[in-house]
Amino acid sequence: PPRARTTSSMALASFSTAYAALVEITAAGESKAADLPAARDALKTAVNAVLVEASSDSAAAAAADALMVTHREKAEAGKYVAKPTGTLSPLLDPSILKGSLLASLKTCAHYPAILAMPDLCETIRKLVCSAPAKGVTTFLVDELGKDIETCTDVKALSAVHEVLRVHIQAEGRLKKELAGFVLGADHTKAVRTAANKAAKALTVAEAA
């Protein structure tokens, strides 16, 4: 429906504005250090709004995945493996998105969108691999774990399990396909713990 498309474009526009603001404030260094917390919170809010929209709107998911790009795979000759059509969005800085994307993993409702956005999912996989294991455990085992306990949405729980088990763990992918980003032992333990909890909750939700 037109309203959904309008809302999703508003969510993306808000994301672009919040992203640009955080880039500017970060680049300013000490002179704008006091503005950083609010700018980071604004980007988290904007990212969450995009994910909520994308979870129920495939067109919104595709539009967001085309905009929130931090990497492009290139073949040997320097050409893109997948031939893109039209003008490519400029690549975004994953370090600017890091806090917002990792925080989004705390909430089951965001996972259907992450699952529907393969490029964003790969960015998140790389960020999880690079993040301190203690932080990953807090986000996935503690925070997401609490959300799983109260979630009865079959679609969301199924997406949590698939994103974590298949995509974040990179199940079935060759090491050379992982661009040097591999989960450490403690990271893997946290991902598996959360994925297993989601699988159990999914079984209960499906039986209800």
Distance CA 3, CA 5 (A): 5
Long-range interactions of 87-91: CB distance < 8 A, separation 24+: none
Can you give the pLDDT at residue 80?
42
Phi, psi of 184 (to 5 degrees): -75, 175
Distance CA 36, CA 34 (A): 6
Closest alpha carbon to 55 in 40, 65, 41: 65
Can you give the pLDDT at residue 40?
96
In this prediction the pTM is 0.86
Contact 73, 97 (CB under 8 A): no
- What is the number of structural domains in the chain? 1
Q: pLDDT 10s per residue in the chain (208 long)?
A: 333 344 447 899 999 999 999 999 999 999 999 999 999 999 999 999 999 999 989 999 999 998 898 887 654 444 444 444 555 667 899 999 999 999 999 999 999 999 999 999 999 999 999 999 999 999 999 999 999 999 999 999 999 999 999 999 988 888 888 888 999 999 999 999 999 999 999 999 999 8
Distance CA 133, CA 185 (A): 9
Range of the domain at 65: 2-207
Can you give the pLDDT at residue 70?
87
Distance CA 55, CA 61 (A): 7
How far, in whole angstroms, is CA 184 from its chain's centroid?
19
Closest alpha carbon to 96 in 122, 68, 74: 68
Contact 36, 1 (CB under 8 A): no
Contact 140, 164 (CB under 8 A): yes
Can you give the pLDDT at residue 176?
81
Distance CA 8, CA 52 (A): 9
Can you give the pLDDT at residue 86?
53
Collapsing DSSP states into helix, strand and coil, what is residue 30? helix
Retrieve residue 19's tokens: 């992203």
Radius of gyration of the chain (CA): 17
